[in-house]
Amino acid sequence: MGDSDVSMSGVEPDDGLLAYGIPYPPALDDTITFSDGSAEPPDWEIYAKYYGARFKPGGNVFDVRLINFNDPSGEGKYFEEDWPYEYQLGAPDDRPDGWDPPIQKWGLKLLDAAGFINNPTQEAVSYMAPYGKWAPERQKYDLSRENVHPVFRCAMWPNISQLEYAAIMPALLLATAYLDDPKTLCLFHAISAPSSQMTLFRDEKLGYCQRVQIPVTLSEIEQKAVFDKMVAMREYTTFNWADDEGPDTVHAIAWTSPRLDAKRRYIPASGPFTRKTDIYMSTHILHVMSLMPIKAYPFFDTQFAEEILDMAGVADERKPRDFDLISAQMRTAYMFAATLVHEFAHAFCKAYFERPDTKPAQPNEPWLADNRNNELGHAVILQILGGIPGLNTLYRIPMSSAEVIKQWNYVPFGIHFREPWDMWAKTSKFQQVISEGAAEANDKTCTFYPIAQRQIQSMYAKETWDEVSRYGLDAIKLTKIPEWAAHVVPGETGNYTLR
């Protein structure tokens, strides 16, 4: 496409700040007009790179204009009055394949300038701040009075040193706060309920399936019973460090494996047809978390991020500003906390959900809420956070799966969540997806919402947990900033358009 083939016009958004101090994005048009007079909705995966932005002087919004790549001055101007642009939109290497949609649309440098990647702060970070709404009740039953939930304590981590355990404390406290909530107790009460209390339905491909019934509230006795089941998990599972290669050579940041006896049989947990497990976490997470208190060694994240950008051939002028160590570390702690609860949910389910070893095999786990996918770890995090945090990553051949997984540990380029979360999921050994309505489900628009870095950092602010004590988990739900959303729209031929 030639530079002069596109024209744009649009209405600027009102000045003002969005949630967490995020400015308004560049006002992109709903249609673009070509030189022959035709117009169509733009596919920003293709056309975003033709636009440049700057932060509007004296405002709270980004200006946007077309870039003239034939301008001999190198300033991309069409007219003398065109202002110098600071941020070129689109994939930072002009190859959108491999980048996640928020980066394909806005570019790394603009996302960073808006506050979705780095948020340097001189304020002291209180990693001890997370404190769940149900924590006072839990500590009444927990004679140790420790802040960390019994299922995350040091005894649950074979071969971990005290120094390493202290290093992962920020994530442990955040994961504890997630478990220490009445709503979370309702979830685990439902997951551990007898099969007779679940809804039975039949899928044409999966056979008979079960869906849990989540109560709105629990009595004090029921809450104590769920807590006791959680504590019993100290006998049914462990947390371990491992390289990224999980079962069946699948690369993963974490996984939960059934424990087998000498004859390769499942070892029962709470009763017949249940299973003891072992949870494995990537050693890269430990490496990152171990460096969190050490501000003098920022190379671990900065160097890794630079390697990814250099491998993609990203020019210096398209790179974000210097990566902020604290911002990256807090993203790692945030993602690690979600991973801890995710994997604990799998282990808890295997310990209490009765699943006979039949042929054909029954679904691994029950379904939660109205999800099509029974990936229980994701379903639990969705209930707790209102979305499933995922990373802005680059995956492109010849990158290995291990290199992509490493990005999940170092979290260099920010976080997003998407809705629907499971629209492209397919049945595999690790998850089952309801076949009914699959075509309709996969024909929906999938929206990616970048998460403000300030929201991630707010998870370690005392004020946030004061709000949680009053309002519960609603106070920490992932915040949608629709103005910055990237919409992936399915087309008639199976292709997708980025809006």
The residue-averaged pLDDT of 85-111 equals 93
Furthest-apart CA atoms within the chain: distance in Å: 79
Asked if residue 284 has pLDDT above 60, the reply is: yes
Same domain (yes/no): 80, 150: no
Determine the distance from the C-alpha atom of residue 97 to the mean position of all C-alpha atoms in its chain, rounded to a whole number.
20
Tally of residues, the chain: 499
Cis geometry, peptide bond prior to residue 420 (ω within 30 degrees of 0) = yes
State whether 71 and 155 are in the same domain: no
Tokens of 262: 């000498």
Please report the pLDDT score of residue 494 as a whole number.
64
Please check whether residue 145 lies inside any domain of the structure.
yes
Same domain, 157 and 55: no
* Stated pTM of the model: 0.92
Q: Looking at the structure, do residues 10 and 65 belong to the same domain, yes or no?
A: yes
Higher-scoring residue by pLDDT: 244, 156:
156
Q: Which of 55, 89, 123 is the last residue of a domain?
A: 89
Check whether residue 300 and residue 409 sit in a common domain: yes
The answer to whether residue 113 scores a pLDDT higher than 70 is yes
Structure-model confidence comparison of residues 434 and 249, the more confident one: 434
Predicted pLDDT of residue 271: 94
Whether residues 342 and 411 share a domain: the answer is: yes
Total structural domains in the chain? 2
Q: Which CB contacts under 8 angstroms, 24+ apart, belong to 301-307?
A: 301/325, 301/328, 301/329, 301/410, 301/412, 304/406, 304/410, 304/412, 305/410, 305/412, 305/413
Q: Per the domain annotation, does 223 fall within a domain?
A: yes
Looking at the structure, tell me whether residues 357 and 442 fall in a common domain. Answer: yes
Regarding whether 327 and 210 lie in a shared domain, the answer is yes
* 453 neighbors 419 (Cβ within 8 angstroms): no
At residue 14, the pLDDT reads 46
**Beta-bridge mates of residue 448:** 418, 486
Q: What is the mean pLDDT of residues 235-254?
A: 76
Q: Is residue 47 part of a domain?
A: yes
106 is a domain residue: no
pLDDT tens digits for range 373-427? 999 999 999 999 999 999 998 887 677 777 777 787 788 899 999 999 988 788 8
Lookup result for tokens 């049914």:
236
Q: Which of 89, 112, 143 is the last residue of a domain?
A: 89
What is the average per-residue pLDDT within 32-40?
86
> Distances from the Cα of 357 to the Cαs of 267, 274, 351, in angstroms?
12, 10, 14
Residue 240 lies in a domain: yes
Domain for residue 100, yes or no?
no
Cα–Cα distance for residue pair 214/198, rounded to 1 Å: 10
Domain match, 390 and 482 both: yes
- pLDDT higher for 5 or 65? 65
User: For residue 482, is it within any domain?
Assistant: yes
Q: Are 365 and 257 members of one domain?
A: yes
- Cα end-to-end span (Å), the chain: 18
In which domain, by residue range, is 289 found?
Answer: 135-498
Q: Among 320, 395, 306, which Cα is nearest to 87's?
A: 320
Same domain, yes or no: 304 and 407? yes
Domain final position from 72, 89, 106: 89
Residue 105 in any domain: the answer is no
- Claim to verify: residue 249 and residue 151 sit in the same structural domain: yes
